[in-house]
Chains A and B, each alone.
Chain A
Amino acid sequence: MGEGRGELETLTQQTLADRLRDEFVGKPIGEPYEARDPVSLPMIRSWCDAMGDRNPVYSDEERARESIHGGIVAPPTMLQRWTMKGLSNEGPPQAGGLGSRLVEALEGAGFTSVVATNCEQEYTRYLRPGDHLTGTTIIKAVSDEKKTALGSGHFIESQITWTDQTGETVGTQMFRIYYYKQAEKQPSSTAPRPRPAISDDTRFFWEGASGKELLVQRCTSCATLRHPPRPMCANCRSLEWEPAPMSGRGSVYSFVVHHHPPVPGFDLPFVVALVELEEGVRMVSNLTGVTPEEVSIGMPVEAEFVPVDDELTLPLFAPRSAG
């Protein structure tokens, strides 16, 4: 009885990767599959048309005869093409397709998303029209559970070996695919934009923005502009002020690019800029309509009023042509 329990514990401790490796690695997926059609000029032509490949050895009988091949050959990178099943449901799995039992096991464990990451082809010889291929797929490796930017999952490595009508190997392909659970979405612009803390001192600024006006405090005693808003003029100490509309034009005085950590309401990376308005005051804002790489100090910018929702409009800055 003790023995039996030990066995059970071992079984339950075995990871998914271990189980998949035991069951699939080193084994062929299904029977070898024969291509529906032999290597043919029309299929070569449609491939070369799509790729824009005008190598004459693939399409020009006369010049191919004069070449090292002595006649038309297929582009080697077409190797997998010859055993693709196309729209029919007959024949081999699709590109990198795995046995249905392996796919079911992965999907059953929640690894439902898939992406191809590596393809490594080796060509033993060039193929000619009339060659008829047969492919055999073997599962080569199942990785432990990995964490990537996409989410956690398993890399599955398979290898296809193609033989010709005489049984000779003509090429091989290692294909690596990643089965994963999608990572939790990063906070992004779909999250609500953080709200400004509006006080009696700053209300005029946000109300101005709603009306697409960029307002800055101007001292009514000495006419000095000041931003961000505060009660007293630093020049003459007057408490009297009025909101003054700005042109909205300015230039980047300085900036930083925020890469990390993620901030709800913002798409990473984003630019935080200190904009010097042509009236002389400086203002912190985001730049929009420009990639971080394109931003430079002195870059001419112009205010753009971006409505966030019914209550909030943000004055951001976008590049403008100089002058």
Chain B
Amino acid sequence: MNGDLSTLRSGDVAMGDELPPLEIPITATLVVAGAIASGDYQEVHHDAELSKSRGTKDIFMNILTTNGLLGRYVTDWTGPDALLKAVRLRLGAPNYPGDTMTLTGKVTAAAEGEITLEIVGANSLGNHVTATVEVALP
């Protein structure tokens, strides 16, 4: 968020527009803080030893945090007066601490203030998330 309250207007956005990439360092703090903020106490999101004993490399990000990061990525770009209407996501490679997820996105539909974005969050293992987000612009 750049600090001002300006928001993209429907006329400002066209199909094919790209969102600026956002790099998110995946830290254990982010994974744990996201899990707690979302009320998700599954051990694989905070207990590294137990996660390893269950065959994963480390703790990994929960789906609600991924959802929250997508929401942030979109409104960082649109500005605060845009309305999120839907977030549809598909999960792929896990987000483990030490990795970096880079979010990229583009506008795939824009009509009468309703825009659709295709967003990909990629880490060193592949695509962590692919998502379609619907937004209403003022």
What residues make up the interface of A, taking CB atoms closer than 8 Å to B?
43, 46-47, 49-57, 63, 66-68, 75-78, 80-81, 84-87, 94-96, 115-123, 126
Instruction: Confirm or deny: B114 has a beta carbon within 8 angstroms of a beta carbon on chain A.
Output: no
Instruction: Confirm or deny: B116 has a beta carbon within 8 angstroms of a beta carbon on chain A.
Output: no
CA distance A258 to B54 in the complex (A): 29
Chain B residue nearest to A75 (CB atoms) is B71
CA distance A16 to B138 in the complex (A): 49
Contact A116 B91 (CB under 8 A): yes
Q: Which of A47, A56, A117 contacts B38 (CB 8 A)?
A: A47
Contact B65 A51 (CB under 8 A): yes
**29 CB-based A-B contacts, threshold 8 Å:** A46-B37, A47-B68, A49-B33, A50-B30, A50-B33, A50-B36, A50-B37, A50-B38, A50-B65, A51-B34, A55-B1, A55-B80, A56-B5, A68-B81, A75-B72, A76-B84, A77-B68, A81-B64, A84-B38, A84-B39, A86-B39, A94-B42, A118-B88, A118-B90, A119-B63, A119-B67, A121-B86, A121-B87, A123-B84
**Which residues of chain B are near A52, meaning CB under 8 Å?**
24, 69, 72
Q: Which of A49, A78, A86 contacts B41 (CB 8 A)?
A: A86
CA distance A75 to B34 in the complex (A): 14
A81-B37, A121-B67 known; 11 new pairs, CB 8 Å cut-off, are: A51-B65, A52-B24, A67-B81, A76-B84, A77-B87, A81-B39, A84-B38, A117-B91, A118-B90, A122-B85, A123-B86
CA distance A85 to B109 in the complex (A): 37
A-B pairs, 4 with minimum CB distance: A84-B39, A77-B71, A50-B33, A53-B72
Q: Which of B37, B65, B75, B81 contacts A49 (CB 8 A)?
A: B37
**Which residues of chain B are near A94, meaning CB under 8 Å?**
40-42
Chain B residue nearest to A63 (CB atoms) is B5
Instruction: Confirm or deny: B101 has a beta carbon within 8 angstroms of a beta carbon on chain A.
Output: no
Instruction: Confirm or deny: B48 has a beta carbon within 8 angstroms of a beta carbon on chain A.
Output: no
**Which residues of chain A are near B75, meaning CB under 8 Å?**
53, 55
**Which residues of chain B are near A54, meaning CB under 8 Å?**
1
What residues make up the interface of B, taking CB atoms closer than 8 Å to A?
1, 5, 24, 30, 33-34, 36-42, 62-65, 67-72, 75-76, 80-81, 83-91, 138
Chain B residue nearest to A58 (CB atoms) is B80
CA distance A53 to B81 in the complex (A): 14
Q: Which of A77, A118, A122 contacts B70 (CB 8 A)?
A: A77
- Given known A50-B68, A85-B39, contact A118–B91 (CB-CB < 8 A): yes
Contact B38 A80 (CB under 8 A): yes
Chain A residue nearest to B94 (CB atoms) is A115
B85, chain A: closest CB distance, angstroms: 6
- Given known A50-B30, A80-B64, contact A95–B40 (CB-CB < 8 A): yes
CA distance A267 to B91 in the complex (A): 24
Contact B72 A120 (CB under 8 A): no
Contact B84 A77 (CB under 8 A): yes
Contact B72 A55 (CB under 8 A): yes
CA distance A126 to B30 in the complex (A): 25
Contact A119 B89 (CB under 8 A): yes
**Which residues of chain B are near A76, meaning CB under 8 Å?**
71, 84, 87
Q: Which of B30, B37, B89 contacts A120 (CB 8 A)?
A: B89
CA distance A67 to B38 in the complex (A): 26
CA distance A34 to B75 in the complex (A): 29
